[in-house]
Amino acid sequence: MARAATPEMILVFRGTHQVLSAEKQLRKGGVPMRLIPVPRHLTSECGLAIRIPLAERDRAREILSASRLSPLSAHLSLGDGGYDLTPF
């Protein structure tokens, strides 16, 4: 399943408020992103996560750390439905 033509990254946050705050800041900063349900096998966390193109990692990191919204964890999408834990 070669779904991810462009490599993507999934950001998981502490809680719903933090996800939506991160969404707001990333949109304000012009980072293309999507709100997605947290993939079940990433964490047992219920709720939402943010998906961004891997190429946006640096910009996203800058924006999020400026608003004190560091993700709990970041995951690389492998394109085959699998994910690799990655530093953010």
Partner 1 sequence: MAEAVSAAIRRAGNPGRSGHVLSIRSARDLFSARERLARLFGCEDSSRFVFTGNATEALNQAVKGVLRPGDHVVATSVEHNSVMRPLRRMEEGGVRVTIVPAGPDGVVDARDMVAAFRKGTRMVVMVHASNVSGALQPVGAVAAAARRQGILTLVDAAQTAGSVPIDIPSLSVDLLAAPGHKGLLGPQGTGFLYVREGVPIIPLTEGGTGSRSESDRQPEFFPDALESGTPNSVGIAGLSVSLAWILRKGVESIRRKEVALVSELLDGISGIHGVRFFGPPDPSARVSPVSFVVEGMDPSEVGWRLEKGAGILVRAGLHCSPNGHRTLGTFPTGTVRVSPGPFTTRKEVARFLTALRKIRNLPS
Judged by the rule CB under 8 A, the positions of this chain that interact with partner 1 are 14-18, 20-21, 24, 35-38, 43-48
Q: Kindly tell me which of 24 and 82 has the beta carbon lying closer to partner 1.
A: 24
In terms of C-beta density within 10 A (0-12 exposed, 13-18 middle, 19 or more buried), how is residue 1 classed? exposed
Closest separation in Å from C-beta 20 to partner 1: 4
- For partner 1, the closer of residues 45 and 79 by Cβ is 45
Nearer residue to partner 1 within complex by CB, 70 or 86: 70
Angle between helices 16-28 and 57-66 (to 10 degrees): 120
Using only the alpha carbons of the chain, give its radius of gyration: 12
